[in-house]
Amino acid sequence: MARLIDGKQVSADLKMRVKEEVAALKEKGVEPALAVIIVGSDPASRVYVNNKKKACELCGIRSVEYALEESTCEEELLALIDKLNEDETINGILCQLPVPKHINDKTVIERIDPKKDVDCFSNVNVGKMWVGDYAFKPCTPAGVMELLKAYDIDVSGKNCVIIGRSNIVGKPMAALLLEKNATVTICHSKTQNLAQICSKADIIVAAVGRAKFVTADMVKDGAVVIDVGINRSEEGKLCGDVDFENVKEKASFITPVPGGCGPMTIAVLMQNTLCAAKLQNNL
């Protein structure tokens, strides 16, 4: 039976550390600030933005929201980003994705000053991460690394399999695991013998976006299973990419959904905003 990795607790601990550092910065006259832009009224995006605002409040970070109409054109959004790039009182800029279809999300991401790109989505910051010369890391993959660290799970020399090759999770996850000396395999929709590859993994990171995709026969005894997915089951219940009930009988550690990787993403965002504030103030 696997030991449960408690993302809520690890996230709370990280946010408390950020809160202490933010308080110390404020004593030096520096107030970290995060600008969050949301375009349109997507319900899931609104939930995420509200959760980020709550986390900012908890950590003592000033949160500034820009809620734009669905009809906002790309030029207007880019002009707002330009203004925030120039605003020395704003340390981090985040544009909640997805944006409406008439706006190019890549153009938006690249417009954010890399020093304020606290999501770490820009080409500059992704490149810096791959060569190990970064200021901050992508939130979800960095959150996974924090979970592994909190439970003393050493990845050095381990066979790590990532299922999914997205720019947000799969690819940066590989970079961060490689940095810690893991042997990394990335699997995707064109991978042959996926189940066989997974069955040899010491650590599996599932980020494929398909409910209960990773089944017990794909997991070797004692493997660590990290579930990044957020899906709905046929019954409408929140679930991950892993068949939790069956896989937990074989794994040594496993993350639940919800309460595993999810809380870590926002905690790392707070950490990145703090880091950005320190860098911009030469601290």
Per-residue pLDDT of 81-123, as tens digits, reads: 999 999 999 999 999 999 999 999 999 999 999 999 999 999 9
Could you read off the pLDDT of 134-145 as tens digits, one per residue?
989 999 999 999
Q: How many C-beta atoms surround the C-beta of residue 53 within 10 A?
A: 16
Tokens of 63: 């949160």
Catalytic residue among 117, 119, 202, 227: 119
Question: Any catalytic annotation for residue 42?
Answer: no
pTM of the model: 0.95
Radius of gyration, CA atoms only, the chain: 19
Catalytic residue among 96, 158, 227, 241: 96
Q: How far apart are CA 16 and CA 60, in angstroms?
A: 10
To the query of whether residue 119 is one of the catalytic residues in this protein, the response is yes
pLDDT band at 69, cuts 50/70/90? Answer: very high
- Residue 282, classified by CB atoms within 10 Å of its CB into exposed (0-12), middle (13-18) or buried (19+), is exposed
pLDDT at residue 101, as a whole number: 95
Amino acid residing at 230: I
**Domains identified in the chain and CATH numbers:** 29-114 (3.40.50.10860), 139-262 (3.40.50.720)
Average pLDDT over residues 251-257: 98
**Reduced to 3 states, what is the DSSP secondary structure of residue 155?**
coil
Distance, in Å, from the CA atom of 246 to the CA atom of 157, rounded to the nearest integer, reads 27
pLDDT (tens digit per residue) in 3-47: 999 999 999 999 999 999 999 999 999 999 999 999 998 888 999
> Catalytic annotation on 96?
yes
Cα 175 to Cα 119: distance, rounded to the nearest angstrom: 16
Provide the percentage of residues in the chain whose pLDDT is more than 90.
94
9, 261 Cβ separation under 8 angstroms: no
Pick the catalytic residue from 15, 52, 137, 250. 52
Tokens 């408390």 — which residue? Answer: 16
Whether residue 258 is predicted with pLDDT greater than 90 in this model: the reply is yes
Please, is 268 exposed, middle or buried when counting C-beta atoms within 10 Å of its C-beta (0-12, 13-18, 19+)? Answer: buried
Residue 168, token pair as written in the block: 């947000």
Decide if 177 contacts 142 (C-beta within 8 A).
Answer: no
